[in-house]
Amino acid sequence: MFRFVQIRQDRGVDWFDDGSRAPGASTLVLASYGKSVYWIEHEKVILDKGEALYIPACQSYYGKCIPTVFHEKYVIEFTGADQLAGLPIAQSDTWVKTKLGMYDLCLGRIRTVYADWIDKAPYADIRGLAVLTEWLAVWNRELDEGTNSPEIHQSVERMKQYISDYYQQKITKEELGDYIHKSPNYAATLFRRVTGQTISEFVHAARIKKAIYMLVDSTLTVGEIAEFVGYSDVSYFQRIFKRETGTTPTEYMRERPSPTA
């Protein structure tokens, strides 16, 4: 039976996993920071930031931190991989690891599922299955298309960094094309093919990521935060925020520490 067993976040410098899983469960891992090491059927596998790892149910493993190296990753366990006949990774009888081009897209989805799971939100497991299937589909597509050349990867990383630096402003394909010395249409097409997101979608995600941090860790109002991250219209900011996170800015503000006397 295709079933979402659990999602968890592993982080720190003292993590250890003895490989215990539910009967018939396979494992998907996405590294979001640092690196860690797995031994899968006695084969050493280093997992670095931005890489995805699939461990089928038929393979035994254990994993641990690299001494003094902080890491963070998300781990999904599920059963019924054999029912995903159209997804070759899920049919593999050996581990698979690659760098994920659509890393930011997948990480955002996974973090949302993790939050649902921790909050015991209704139908969190069903949403988890949907994101799990999407992740595998995206990953299989990348493998079918082949590994991107170092030049392509570098160009996309440069565009992502440009957006991270200037997300508060309006960013166009013309700007990004100039930045990587390519035509605007080529820049936009390349960005979407590799990341799975349009330039606009990536900009919104960068803004909302910063907004979440400020909603929890600052004393600014929703309107002030909206303006800071690049939205002059508060209502529009709230719509985008709800679309990206599934909740409202006010919900995040409730996590602010209580003011001290």
Give yes or no for residue 256 having a pLDDT over 90: no
Give yes or no for residue 133 having a pLDDT over 50: yes
Give yes or no for residue 261 having a pLDDT over 60: no
Strands 43-48 and 35-40: antiparallel
Q: Are residues 116 and 214 in the same domain?
A: no
pLDDT of residue 259: 64
Percent of the chain clearing pLDDT 70 (strictly above) = 98
How large is the average pLDDT for residues 74-102? 93
List Cβ neighbours of 91 (8 Å cut-off, separation of 6 or more). 81, 82, 84, 85
Greatest Cα-to-Cα distance within the chain, rounded to the nearest angstrom: 60
Residue 144's identity, in one-letter code, is D
pTM: 0.76
Q: Are residues 157 and 238 in the same domain?
A: no
Most confident of 44-48, 141-145, 149-153, 191-195: 44-48
CA distance 241 to 249: 7
Give yes or no for residue 147 having a pLDDT over 70: no
What is the tally of structural domains in the chain? Answer: 3
**Which range marks the domain in which residue 233 is found?**
201-253
CA distance 91 to 114: 25
Tokens of 208: 């909302």
pLDDT of residue 228: 96
Residue 221 belongs to domain with CATH number: 1.10.10.60
pLDDT of residue 145: 79
How large is the average pLDDT for residues 136-143? 90
- Domain presence at residue 176: yes
Q: Are residues 130 and 17 in the same domain?
A: yes
For residue range 32-85, what is the model confidence (pLDDT) as tens digits? 999 999 999 999 999 999 999 999 999 999 999 999 999 999 999 999 999 998
